[in-house]
Structure 1
Amino acid sequence: MKISYVYILKCSDASYYTGVTSNLNKRLFQHESGFYKNCYTYRKRSLKLVFYAEFTNISIAIDTEKQIKKWSRAKKEALINGDYDRLQNLAKKKF
């Protein structure tokens, strides 16, 4: 069973980058070293890993990554801080 990871990096400009990988250490090294020059994080180094979750199903990991990418900054920060009670309230639309 292969493990996949969804991760969130905090960039030098305080923005967040969400990604998915099957080799977290290698991918973090690639981000930090600027391995991919067209990657969002290339000009936003230095980077800090602020969250990751493990998955045994790559399809679920990819779906989770896509979901998190659509979240507001506040909702991402609640996840990062482990404030799971706030996640539900932050998902509600404000009218």
Structure 2
Amino acid sequence: MKNYSVYILECADGSLYTGYAVDVRQRFALHCSGRGAKYTRSHKPLRIVYEETFPGKSEALRREWAIKHLPREKKEALIQGGGTDVGTEKLSGK
């Protein structure tokens, strides 16, 4: 079984991009080359600032969705080590 990761990229304009991949470094290289997501073609990615790994694709997709719906302040807390549970209340039912 493949592991999937959810990642957050910091872009040159200060924005944050969230995605998922099997190989985050390879996906980052695609983003940097302009062949990744449409968003990163116009918002140059600078670095990977966060990564979480999951045993399956469905878990990673649920987490990606949860992170994408967080306000920026909570994403920044997550990046700064505010805990992997930031924003998962909807998923866990808590």
Q: Aligned equivalents of 2:2 and 2:25: distance in 1?
A: 15
- TM-score, normalised to structure 1, is 0.82
Task: Tell me if the contact between 2:49 and 2:79 (Cα under 8 Å) persists in the aligned partners.
Answer: yes
Q: Please list, as runs of the form range in 1=range in 2, the aligned pairs for 1:7-22 lying within 5 A after superposition.
A: 7-22=7-22
Task: Tell me if the contact between 2:9 and 2:45 (Cα under 8 Å) persists in the aligned partners.
Answer: no
What secondary structure, in the 3-state scheme, does the structure 2 residue paired with 1:41 have?
helix
Q: Aligned equivalents of 2:45 and 2:17: distance in 1?
A: 12
Match of 2:80 in 1: 81
What secondary structure, in the 3-state scheme, does the structure 2 residue paired with 1:40 have?
helix
Match of 1:54 in 2: 53
TM-fit CA distance, 1:25: 1.7
TM-fit CA distance, 1:46: 3.9
Per-residue CA deviations over 1:4-41 (Å, capped at 9, x if unaligned) read: 000000111101000011121210100011114x6101
- Greater Rg over alpha carbons, structure: 1
TM-fit CA distance, 1:45: 1.0
Match of 2:92 in 1: none
Match of 1:25 in 2: 25
- TM-score, normalised to structure 2, is 0.83
Give the total of aligned pairs.
86
Q: Aligned equivalents of 1:39 and 1:29: distance in 2?
A: 14
User: Which runs of 5 or more residues in structure 1 are unaligned?
Assistant: none
User: Which runs of 5 or more residues in structure 2 are unaligned?
Assistant: 90-94
Structure 1 vs Structure 2 CA RMSD: 1.7
Amino acid at match of 1:18: T
Q: Which consecutive aligned stretches of 4+ in structure 1 deviate over 2 angstroms post-superposition?
A: none
